[in-house]
Structure 1
Amino acid sequence: MPDRKPALSYAASLLRCDDRERFLTVLFAPADCREDLFALYALNVELSRIREQAREPMAGLIRLQWWRDALLAGQGGAGHPLVAPLREAIRRYHLDPDLLDGLLIARERDFDPDPPADPDDAEKLAAAGPVGLGLLALAILGANKKSGEAERNAVCAVSSAWGVLGHLRSIAYHAALGRVTLPASLLPKDGAVAILAGRATGESLSKATRTMAERAERHLIHARSVNVMREALPALLTAVQAKTYAAALRRSNWNPFEPRIARNRSRPLALAWTVWRGHL
C-alpha cells in the first residue's frame, strides 16, 4: 500500500486555509518548532474572525476575554483544539505574556468605530498585532536567545509593513464590517462615509492609500538593510510577500478597491530563494 501523508493538525489546516502566506513561511522553519508556529499564527486567525462573527461588540469583547483567561490565566479553554498547544508553547518558550496580551488588545480595537486620526495612528493600529506576532515567532524560533536588536528591529519593520499593507488590502472587507482604517486626516469630510458606502473614489482616496503604502515600503527597505541571523528568517518572510502587495497597489494607481489587490500572492519560490540566500 502507498504511504499516506500524515494529516495536518487543526492549527496547520486552519492556517493553510485562512492565511496561506504565513502557512508557507512556517514550512521554512525548523521541523521541531513548526507546530508551535502553526498554533501561534492560527491563534491570530481565530482572533481576526471575532469581529466578523460577533453580532454586537460586547459579545466580541467577551470572546477576547475568554482567550485571555484561557492563555494567560490558565482558566477554561476546554474543548478548543488550539488551547492546549498554545499553553504548551507558552510554557516551552517562556513566551512574553505582555506580547500575548497585546494581540488581544489589538483585536479589541477592531470594535472601535472611529477611523484612526492620522497616519501615525493608522500605522499603530495596523502594526500592533503583527509586530507582537512577529516577536513571539522570533521567540519560538529561538533566534531571540542569540540575536540582538538587529533581528528584533527587522521583525518590527517587516511586521509593521505587513500590517499596514494588510489593512490597505482589506479596506472593502473592513468597510463591510463598519470600519474605516485609513487616517481621517487624509480623507475629505465625508470620506469615511463614502468608504463605508463602497463608493469612495478619486484623488483623496488614492493619496491616503499611497501615503500609507509608502510608509510600509520604507519599513521594508529598512528591514532589507539589516543583516539578520539565518535563524530569524522564517519570522521575516512576509517581507517577500509584502513587496508584491505594495507593487500591486502601485500598479493600481493606489486604488485599494481594485480586485487584484486582495489576490493571494504567496510566492513560494521567492520564499525559498530568500531562505537559500540567507537574507531579505
Structure 2
Amino acid sequence: MTTDFDHAADVVRQFDKDRYLSALLAPEAHRNGLMALYAYSAEISRIRELVSEPLPGEVRLQWWRDLLEGTEHGAVASNPVANALLQTIDRYELPKESLVAMAEARVYDLYNDQMPSLNDLEGYAGETVSGVIQLACLVLNDGKEAGTATAAGHAGVAYALTGLMRALPWHASRQQMYLPKDVCDRHNLDVQSVFRGETTAELRAVLAEMRGHVRHHIGRVRQTSKDVPAACQAAYLPLVLVEPFLKKLEREDLDPLKQVAEMSQLRRQWMLWRASGNVLKAI
C-alpha cells in the first residue's frame, strides 16, 4: 500500500533528483522526514509552472501558509505531501515559521521583477534553500537543535545561486531576472539583452562575479563545518555538486543563455555516493 511518505518521495524523485539521492544516502530512520520536507520545497518551488497568472499562484502558496498556521482545509486529507509534512512537523517538532517563510519567499517567483540587490538575493536564497538545509539538520538530529544556522545559511546561498545561474536560459526565456540589479549595474549589463538571448561581455562579467560570491559562501561553509554534527551531514550532501557545476559554468565554450551546465545523472549519483561518508570534507 502506498503511503503519504511514498508519494512525497515520488515527488522529490521527479522534481528534485539530487535531494532525492541525498535522502536515500541518509540514515533510513529519517528518510521519510527528509522526503516530506524536500517534497514540500519542490511543490512550492514549481507553482509558477502550474499557473498562467500570479494570482492563482499566490492562492496556492496561501493554501500552504494557512495549512501550516493551523487553518482548516478540507482538501488536506487528499494531499499526501501535506499529510507527510504535518506528520514530520509533529515527529521532529519542526518550527512552522521557517516553513511559512519558505512559502512567502516563493511569491517572488510568480512575478517578473528583477531581484533588487545581491543582499535581497541572498535573503531569498536563505529563506528558500538555507531553511531547507537547517530543517533537514533537525530531522537528521532527531528533532534536537543542531547549531547549524551559520553553515546552513552559507550552504543554502551557494547552492541556490549555482542553481539560478544554471537555470538562466529558462528564466530569461520567460522574462525572469534573478541576477541582482546592483551587480548588473556594476557591470553595465542591459537586462533586455539577456531577454533577447544576447550573450555579452557584460553578462559574462556579472556571472563571473556571481560565481565568486558562490565560492565565498562555500569557503564559509568549510570554515564553519566543525560546528555541524556528524548526524547532519546528509543535509549538506547536494553541496558537493556546486564546484563541479561552477567549473562547467565558467567554460568559455558554454553559452550561458543557450546551454544549461549539466552533468550526467550517473556522474552526479556517483559523486553524491562517494561524498556520503564524509560530506563536509568533500565540499
TM-score normalised by L of structure 2: 0.87
Closer/same/farther in 2, CA of residues 217 and 21 from structure 1, 3 Å limit: same
Whether contact under 8 Å (2:36, 2:81) holds in the other structure is yes
Q: How does 1:46-195 map to 2 (within 5 A)?
A: 46-76=43-73, 77-142=76-141, 145=144, 147-148=146-147, 151-187=148-184, 191-195=190-194
Deviates more, 1:261-270 or 1:92-101: 261-270
Whether contact under 8 Å (1:127, 1:162) holds in the other structure is no
Partners of 2:108 and 2:127 in 1: CA distance: 10
Note the C-alpha offset of 1:125.
Answer: 2.8
Note the C-alpha offset of 1:262.
Answer: 4.4
Whether contact under 8 Å (1:160, 1:219) holds in the other structure is yes
Partners of 1:234 and 1:64 in 2: CA distance: 28
Give me the identity figure in percent. 28
The residue number in structure 1 matching 2:28 is 31
Whether contact under 8 Å (1:47, 1:64) holds in the other structure is yes
Amino acid at match of 1:206: R
Amino acid at match of 1:274: A
Aligned to 2:280, the other structure's residue is in SS state coil
Note the C-alpha offset of 1:57.
Answer: 0.8
Closer/same/farther in 2, CA of residues 109 and 160 from structure 1, 3 Å limit: same
Whether contact under 8 Å (2:154, 2:220) holds in the other structure is yes
Partners of 1:190 and 1:215 in 2: CA distance: 18
Note the C-alpha offset of 1:210.
Answer: 1.2
Closer/same/farther in 2, CA of residues 276 and 157 from structure 1, 3 Å limit: same
Partners of 1:123 and 1:254 in 2: CA distance: 25
Unmatched runs of 5 consecutive residues or more in structure 1: 1-5
Note the C-alpha offset of 1:263.
Answer: 4.7
Partners of 1:213 and 1:82 in 2: CA distance: 34
Whether contact under 8 Å (1:127, 1:161) holds in the other structure is no
Partners of 1:58 and 1:262 in 2: CA distance: 33
Partners of 2:202 and 2:133 in 1: CA distance: 32
How many pairs are equivalent?
A: 271
Partners of 1:82 and 1:69 in 2: CA distance: 15
Partners of 2:42 and 2:279 in 1: CA distance: 28
The residue number in structure 2 matching 1:240 is 240
Whether contact under 8 Å (2:166, 2:260) holds in the other structure is no
Whether contact under 8 Å (1:11, 1:42) holds in the other structure is yes
Amino acid at match of 1:250: E
Closer/same/farther in 2, CA of residues 56 and 251 from structure 1, 3 Å limit: same
TM-score normalised by L of structure 1: 0.88
Whether contact under 8 Å (2:93, 2:143) holds in the other structure is no
